[in-house]
Structure 1
Amino acid sequence: VTSSFGKRRLFREEGVWNYTTMLLREDLNMLILGAREAIFMMVNCIYSPQVYWPVTNKEQKVCSNKGKDAANDCKNYIKILHKRNDDRMYVCGTKAFIPTCDYMVKGKQEDGKGKCPFDPSQRYTSEMVDGVLYSATSMNFRGSEPVMMRSSEESIRTEFASTWLNEPNFIHMAHIREGDSTPEGDDDKIYLFFSETAVEYDSYTKVDVSRIARVCKGDLGGLRTLQRKWTSFLKARLDCPIPNNNLPLLVQDVFHLCPGNWTTCVFYAVFTSQLDSFQYSAVCAYKIEDIQTVFSKGKFKAPVTVETSFVKWVMYSGDVPDPRPGACIDNNARRMGFTSSLDLPDKTLQFIKDKPLMDQAVKASEEKPLLVKRGTAFTRIVVATATALNGTSHQVMFIGTKSGSVLKAVNYDGEMVIMEEIQLFEPSEPVKILRISNTKLYVGSEVGVVQLSISECGRYHKCLDCVLARDPYCGWDLNADKCSTINSTHRTRTSTMIQSLSDGDARRCPQTGICIIPQSLHALCSCRNTKSYI
């Protein structure tokens, strides 16, 4: 059935909720889906084997006795799905506030503390880097010990200090292979996006801010100071400015694209207002080079005690130790005789232990958002690259909302075009996760998963509709007399195709004598299987 995004399929299993963890296995043409007490393997929205991982009656009772809701909180919410180097699937769940991890084919459960959240409603993030899990969550039942951790043989984590992490809301983690092609002999970085209560603002009330932090992949901790703690943990404010907004916007989700090597990486982030009464959402983009400049060359902030008890954070203007605090081990450090973080002097380590916050914020590209929308709360984002008829590349953003819809938008030379917004779930069911493959978009919520095509052009039945949509995936084929997905063949014979992305110029369309107003058809086809269907 044709819809505004092409063929749409909805999947859910009777009695199963919280479809919010996904792993795309494009090598197997498969989506692995984690929900409450269940894992599904899906091909084209038809699921094959499923794994159920419920809590025991005893675990549920213990959880309930600690004051948690037995019917909801004291279940096993699947939160982590990763493929390891050996092709095994690593999975973690909240397990009635006893976070537990396992290999899907082994049945060998292990402690998930610090890897997976205790509380199913708590935001968290993780990344599998060369077979090693990096995670950001809470270490304890109450959620009062936030941590960013590497679960290697010698695990490395953040300090339990408000100067490092202060009531954070973890959002996204990304591994960038900066060590592959850097003349400085630098290391790979793991970037962490989160919001937290600011320590640097003078305010009678708590103010939350958005942050980006980073650590070095090769960090082994310090020898004495910061033993088994990150020696490279640095953080900076993430700025997404909109006019007439006093409180900073808070980051909700991040997606990164690297068209070439790591120096081309761009992070796309969605933000929302802190106050519902002033509801703005925005998309800001951040270049990796701007982020790197703040961390490698920026000034630090330092706490200064004022009037005996009040602590004020100001720009640090004193001497900075060498090697630079928070820097990875690079060629310069090796020339000085420091071959690992275990060799770093206490002066460098003590500096970063006390002052991990940068003074300068990471600015958005062009120092302004790509998109600002009022009255809509953005929740998630993914970005795809579409190659137009003339060979130019365009980043197409798919943005999930709190009201259960997805926006499809693209930026043309500073002009943001929202091609359409499609309602996928009831307004009370927010979009909780987005994943994108070469051809499909997967949208998850509490109640189910929808699969859509990202480039279904056949829904435009007239040339005028096709051209005015300004969809970089689509062009009007004069020979076939239909709207088609642009491919390499079309780009070699552009005279037979019509596409006008910059201004929607449809004058080349065959004259029909009728002015057609583009309309979207919204229909839903069910995803059926032998066990259950919608």
Structure 2
Amino acid sequence: MALILYGVVSLFLGMATTLGPVPRITWEHKEVHLEHFQEPETFNYSTLLLNEDKEILYVGAREVIFALNSLNISEKKQEVFWKVTEYQKTRCAEKGKSKQTECLNYIRVLQELNDASLYVCGTNAFQPICDHLNLTSFKLVGRNDDGKGRCPFDPAQSYTSVMVDGDLYSGTSYNFLGSEPIISRNSLQNPLRTEYAIPWLNEPNFIFADVIRADPDSAGEDDDKVYFFFTEVSVEYEFLGKLMIPRIARVCKGDQGGHRTLQKKWTSYLKARLLCSVPDKNLFFNIVNDVFILKTPSLKEPVIYGVFTPQLNNVGLSAVCAYNISTVEDVFVKGKYMQSTTVEQSHTKWLRYNGEIPKPRPGACINKESRAEKINTTLNLPDKTLQFVKDHPLMDDSVTPIGDRPRLVKRDVKYTQIVVDQVRALNGTLYDVMFISTGKSNGRGNQYLYAGSNAGVVQSPVAFCDKYSTCVDCVLARDPYCAWNPHASSCVHIFKESETERDWIQNISGDASSCSDKVREHSLQHTFKHGSTAELKCSQKSNLAQVVWKFKDDVLKVESPKYRLLEKALLIFNLSEGDSGVYQCLSEEEVKNQKFSQVLAKHVLELKKVQHTTLSPTQPSTRTEGNGEMLKTSVVATEGSAAHTSTAPIVSVATSRIVTNPIVPDLMSTVSDMEHSNSLAEVPEKTLFLKSNDNSLLMFLFLFFFVLFLCLFAYNCYNGFLPDQCLKFRSAMLLGKKKPKTDFSDCEQSVKETLVEPGSLMTQSGDHPKPAHDTGYETEADCGNGHVQHDEEHSHSYKEVKDKPFDVKCELKFADSDAEGD
């Protein structure tokens, strides 16, 4: 299971107008400790419910419900299985569903009914069912309520639910095919649902639902409201394809439906578009993936956070937009309505309604103003108002985000979940921290985040304060959860510590000038062979910092071809004596025109050579340089081109060759300083011989094979085994000893006389001999060297021809003969 969570401070999000600020630090899964929970043969841990007071995390999976310790989810407290019967599986399979996967019971609803029980629902092999879970015995009561309209039939269908004062508000599908979406209130006294009509819901994908309580101090005595968030196919516009629109819908908790019109239907249902875009870049995010409503006592009003993506997300963009709840209410209470219309040759199907609006205002909750007009319940609303809201559920105005633009825009990632926490820093300032994930993130504790997936559940802390090892790093993190404790020299979680008097260092703006800690620098010693390549490693975690290398306290120009800067290392090619020295790797991070530097790594590079001298049989000697000191090298120096870090003590020796016999030399190693001979490593004689004589041996072998090659070449050339150019060379070399014929007429005539059919040189009738057919081949018979029988006269003429020099394969003017001409 892969999960990416990181915190983003709202102050830092002001940079989000461009395509995306990056988190300062990205922790990989292997770098942090996360608690996991997983049971064998159990899948789809998709429904999470956190009870912070009891420190229990309830998990709804496939055919089982777990109760886990919220402080350590690897500890399972209780479990209860909720499986379907074999008969139900068979009936489900007969309808074309998979008996192994779809025809099971997927837990989709986990809501707190009261302190003693949970309200739970499951798909139950495409026959949704609901029950009560007793938290004391952790067993199902067995009510088996019909789950239609409360839980989806298909485990792959979208859904959302929220429990409000004992009534379950849900958005799901009402039938087996998933073609009838509804938003309903499941109540024994006043069950309500949406009208089954396209203007009300058009292929919605339900995301989130929550309740916003009315301000008890409000003079209007307003009602509580339940908000639903979903993405649906647009009804305003009609194109060749389906245009998706993010929506927010609202219903009033006190709604009881209409008396004649909209019986058992919502009279307060209205919906509007959620606008999330970057106008100057022509970016529109019209798919809402998740919503979280931040409600804290310190806030004057709740804030809605939503995660969005474009419909055609071929560039992998994600955005986070925030909305004030007052902006939403202004749209529903004061905004214009839309009306269906027929316009020829236009893709627009709904326009703004500019006519008279009935009173009381359609879709409004029953409040003090309504009660003043003797309308104490929705059952008293006039039919004109009810008919208007039935035909005009869509608002013309859109809900615009805070600042008229996203809080965050990020490329190459798809955000699917968001959780927001509000943190008070040490200076008393409140910060909204967003936890955004690419996985399924369903719950938040005071100190932990919980995420469920198909494979299991993972628990992550809200901050990784202990991962910051220096004061500068801790402050530059700008994490309101973390502060630097100078007494303990550690970065601590401010809500986990119990100290009353705190002189901790924290600055959300990133000013780390108050840090005075000095980091102990550890140097790494390196010894390299001349001409090799060094790899000096340096790793830094901050995505906002720049790595700077210094050599002998001067900034290193890594643009030179001699250097190559990698992500976590520096390569130095063709090492020489001038490259010896101290290399420092620094991390430089600029915050508000202040630059903060930290030394990440320090490397000391030394180049050493192994020197060899030859000693006479009677007088050993050593080689000295400059000041007379003997040149020493390390026997542990690397032979390859890669860098090597030596952690063991370096042993230096000088090697020499001593000849003790003029005929049979004796090879041994000597040490210049005899007092330290016991501490030196012994080197085999054969190894020393190869090191001291390898150049001479190679030169000897080279000369030997070169002379051998010349001899073979001359021999083959002389015998005519090589091509034409070689024969020319041979003729030139033998020109002084053998004079070629100046006239080739006799030779040509001999060739003509030879290239005839042997049996027809002289016929009985006295005819002239016939030329032989040119077959393209030279044969012994054609050249007079065959075994055909002839008379003496003919044999004599063949002998004369045979003795004449020619080479059919070569041009005659380059022919050569060993016989002297007449």
1:24 to 34, 46, 50: 50
Q: 1:395 to 1:283 in 2, by over 3 A?
A: same
Return the match for 1:107 from 135, 142, 149: 142
Residues 161-188 of structure 1, C-alpha deviation per residue, up to 9 Å, x if partnerless? 0000000000000101115332101100
Which position in structure 1 is the counterpart of 2:433? 396
**In the alignment, residue 131 of structure 2 is paired with which amino acid?**
D
1:307 positional shift: 3.8
2:494 pairs with 1:463: no
Find the partner of 2:100 among 37, 47, 71: 71
Distance 1:142 1:385 in 2: 42
What is the distance in 1 between the residues matched to 2:62 and 2:266? 33
Asked if 1 retains the 8 angstrom alpha-carbon contact of 2:424 and 2:430, the reply is yes
After TM superposition, list the pairs within 5 Å mapping 1:82-481 onto structure 2: 82-85=111-114, 87-105=116-134, 106-153=141-188, 154-178=190-214, 180-242=216-278, 244-245=281-282, 248-260=285-297, 263-307=300-344, 312-401=349-438, 431-481=439-489
Residue 397 of structure 1 deviates from its aligned partner by 1.1
Kindly provide the CA deviation profile for residues 298-341 of structure 1, in whole angstroms up to 9, marking residues without a partner as x. 11111112249987211110111110000000111111110000
- CA distance in structure 2 between the partners assigned to 1:121 and 1:36 by the alignment: 13
Moved more, 510-519 or 443-452: 510-519
Decide whether the 8 Å contact of 2:211 with 2:225 is kept in 1: yes
Instruction: Indicate if the aligned counterparts of 2:475 and 2:510 stay in contact, CA closer than 8 A.
Output: no
3-state SS of the aligned residue for 1:191?
strand
Is the CA contact (8 Å cut-off) linking 1:304 and 1:312 kept in structure 2? yes
> C-alpha distance in 2, partners of 1:396/1:491?
24
- The one-letter code of the counterpart of 1:500 is N
Which amino acid letter does the alignment assign opposite residue 365 of structure 2?
A: C
CA–CA separation in structure 2 for the residues paired with 1:30 and 1:249:
36
Q: Cα distance 1:4–1:341, how it changes in 2: closer, same or farther (>3 A)?
A: farther
What's the offset of the Cα at 1:242?
2.9
Deviation of the 1:249 alpha carbon: 2.5
Q: Is the 8 A contact 1:250 1:272 kept in 2?
A: yes
- The CA deviation string for residues 123-170 of structure 1, in whole angstroms up to 9 with x for no partner, is 110000011111000000000100000011231000000000000000
Deviation digits for residues 182-214 of structure 1 (CA, Å, limit 9, x no counterpart)? 210110000000000011124232100100000
What is the CA-CA distance between 1:513 and the residue it aligns to?
7.0
Aligned length: 489
1:306 is paired with a residue of what secondary structure?
Answer: coil
CA distance in 2, matches of 1:372, 1:271: 9
Give, in whole Å, the separation in 2 of the partners of 1:134 and 1:261.
27
Deviation of the 1:254 alpha carbon: 0.7
Query: Residue type of the partner of 2:210?
Result: A
Residue aligned with 1:358, SS: strand
Distance in 1 (CA, whole Å) between partners of 2:282 and 2:154 is 32
1:5 Cα deviation from its structure 2 partner: 8.9
| Cα distance between partner residues in 2 of 1:162 and 1:506 | 61
> Does the CA-based 8 Å contact 1:251-1:269 persist in structure 2?
yes
Shift of the 263–447 alpha-carbon distance from structure 1 to 2, 3 Å rule, reads same
1:464-491 Cα offsets, whole Å, 9 max, x none, are 2211211111111112211111259899
CA contact (8 A) 2:226 2:250 kept: yes
Note the aligned Cα RMSD (angstroms): 2.3
Conserved 8 A contact 1:20-1:433: no
- Report the AA paired with residue 50 of structure 1: E
Tell me, in whole angstroms, the C-alpha distance in 1 between the residues paired with 2:540 and 2:478. 11
Give a deviation string over 1:47-87, Cα, whole Å, max 9, x none: 12211111111111111111112211111110000111353
Q: Name the % identity.
A: 48
Structure 2 CA distance for partners of 1:328 and 1:379, relative to 1, 3 Å: same
Q: Aligned partners of 1:98, 1:506: CA distance in 2, in Å?
A: 64
CA distance in 1, matches of 2:151, 2:493: 41
**Structure of larger gyration radius:** 2
- 1:277 is paired with a residue whose SS is coil
State the AA in 2 paired with 1:195.
T
CA-CA distance at 1:278 after TM superposition: 3.0
Contact map agreement 2:239 2:347 (CA 8 A) in 1: no
Q: Which residue number corresponds to residue 503 of structure 1?
A: 510
Quote the residue 2:63 is aligned against: 37
User: What whole-Å deviation, never above 9, does each CA across 1:25-45 have from its counterpart, x for those lacking one?
Assistant: 112110000001110000121
Deviation at 1:221, TM superposition (A): 0.2
What's the secondary structure of 2:419's corresponding residue?
Answer: strand
**Residues 1:498 and 1:63: Cα distance change in structure 2 (over 3 Å):** same
Cα separation, partners in 2 of 1:75 and 1:454, compared to 1, 3 Å? same
Q: 1:295 to 1:501 in 2, by over 3 A?
A: same
**Cα displacement string for residues 215-244 of structure 1 (whole angstroms, at most 9, x for unaligned residues):** 000000000000010000000000110354
Contact 1:467 1:506 in 2 (8 A): no
Against the structure 1 CA distance between its residues 518 and 490, is the aligned structure 2 distance closer, same or farther, given a 3 Å change threshold? farther
2:399 aligned partner, one-letter code: V
From the superposition, tell whether residues 143 and 488 of structure 1 become closer, same or farther in structure 2 (CA, over 3 Å). closer
Q: Structure 1 length as normaliser, TM-score?
A: 0.87
CA distance in 2 between counterparts of 1:469 and 1:513 reads 21
1:64 counterpart SS class: helix
SS of the aligned residue for 1:305 comes to coil
Q: Comparing 181-190 with 219-228, which one deviates more in the overlay?
A: 181-190
2:48 match: secondary structure: strand
The farther-off stretch of 367-376 and 213-222 is 367-376
Deviations 1:374-397 (A, max 9, x none): 110111111111221211111111
What's the CA shift string for 1:438-458, capped at 9, x where partnerless?
111101111110011213422
Aligned to 1:482: 490
The letter for the 1-side match of 2:517 is P
Unmatched 5+ stretches in structure 2: 1-27, 135-140, 523-537, 543-822
Structure-1 separation of matches of 2:495 and 2:96: 58
SS at match of 1:275: coil
Distance 2:255 2:33 in 1: 46
Aligned-partner Cα distance in 1 for 2:387–2:118: 39
Q: Which amino acid aligns with 1:181?
A: D
Contact 1:31 1:41 in 2 (8 A): yes
Amino acid at match of 2:474: C
